[in-house]
Amino acid sequence: MNFLSNTNIDFISKRKIAFIFSALLIVAGIISIVLNGGMKLGIDFTGGTLLEFDFTPSEPTTTPLEIQNIRDVLSQKGFSDAVIQEFGNPNIILVKIKASEKPEEDEDILISVLREEFPDYAGNKSEIEFLRRSEHVGAKIGEELRGRSALAILIALLGIIIYIWWRFELTFGFAAVLALFHDVIITLGLLSLFGMEISIAVIGALLAIVGYSLNDTIVLFVRIREDLKIYRKESYTSIINHSINEVLSRTVITSFTTLMVVLSLYIFGGEVIRDFAFTLLCGVLVGTYSSIFIASPVLVAYRNWKSKHSEKKRRRI
């Protein structure tokens, strides 16, 4: 497809604007995380019990149950720390309670309370009809999952540095990993700003973002390496710009088609995968942006710094 061919956009001259924009996004995300007391961790990492209830009224004429009524009742019955939210349908309610020594007993008490307090919505239903899902995760298991998830991301980033160092050179490796850190940090900040939970699925999405962004960056780095051999008489900045423009069509088309798929997942995939799809959506956008405006400009910034440093050394001698 001959799309965005023969472009001659000076991306590198806009690197300071891009760096400021990225810094603002990162700062906004960090402020959100701090104000919220850290990332909003899902039950996978905190431990506890997750229950999914169907509060569809027994009679069609009955008005839907207000979620605040459920909160008030559970708070009075000793479940004040329960997290209660709608799950796609206003009649489908998720209830999350903290881990305890007797999770099954807590579950039975909570179900009994809801049946007694809301007979028009739960009284005539069987246990399978009323309780659609029940998950228990121990606090210790949640803590182990947190550590292993962080370790998985760090190992992935270390492996990327080694791989790109072997394929290109160390400078390219650090530029790529810096762009990946940029993508992950901004995505986490957006998750915090929009109140999304960090679950195992979201960690999987973050690792997918790392792979997607890296693929974009490597395609660009391969072109830069080839152009450095072809256009030896041109300046380093000019070569980088030329390389970005050469792969721009491929980058935009690939990102657009990926976004369409991820957007479909977000809109039509339901609540179960919404956080996962949202993470991918943010990651694809940020990853495409970073391969053009972060990874490549970092190479130019390092080359300029190195040239100035070498010039100072010559003057001293």
Q: How many whole angstroms from its chain centre is CA 172?
A: 24
The phi and psi torsions of 59 (rounded to 5 degrees) equal -105, 135
pLDDT given for residue 26 in this prediction: 95
72 and 204: one domain?
Answer: no
Could you read off the pLDDT of 184-211 as tens digits, one per residue? 999 999 999 998 888 888 888 888 888 8
Are residues 277 and 154 part of one domain? yes
Other beta carbons within 10 Å of 114: 25
Q: In the beta sheet, which residues pair with residue 88? A: none
Q: Which CATH number does the domain housing residue 65 bear?
A: 3.30.70.3400
Same domain, 227 and 168: yes
Query: Does pLDDT of 317 surpass 70?
Result: no
Question: What average pLDDT does the chain have?
Answer: 83
Q: Are residues 109 and 29 in the same domain?
A: no
Q: What is the mean pLDDT of residues 50-69?
A: 81
* Secondary structure of residue 168 in the 3-state scheme: coil
* pLDDT over 80 (residue 132): yes
Question: Left, alpha or beta for 48 (phi > 0: left; psi -120 to 50: alpha)?
Answer: left
| CATH number of the domain enclosing 33 | 1.20.1640.10
31, pLDDT greater than 90: yes
Which of 117, 137, 157 is the last residue in one of the domains?
137
| 62-121 per-position pLDDT tens digit | 787 888 888 888 888 887 777 788 777 778 888 888 766 677 787 888 888 888 888 888
Q: What is the mean pLDDT of residues 254-275?
A: 86
25 and 59 share one domain: no
Residue 110: give the domain boundaries.
48-137
CA angle 290, 192, 21 (to 5 degrees): 35
Reduce the DSSP state of residue 41 to 3 states and report it.
strand
Answer yes or no: is 6 within a domain: no
Q: Which of 137, 162, 177 marks a domain boundary?
A: 137
**Digit-coded pLDDT (tens) for 133-162:** 887 766 566 667 777 777 877 887 788 778
86 and 113 share a domain? yes
| Partner residues linked to 134 by β-bridges | 51
Query: What is the structure's pLDDT at 35?
Result: 92
Report d(CA 203, CA 200) in Å as an integer.
5
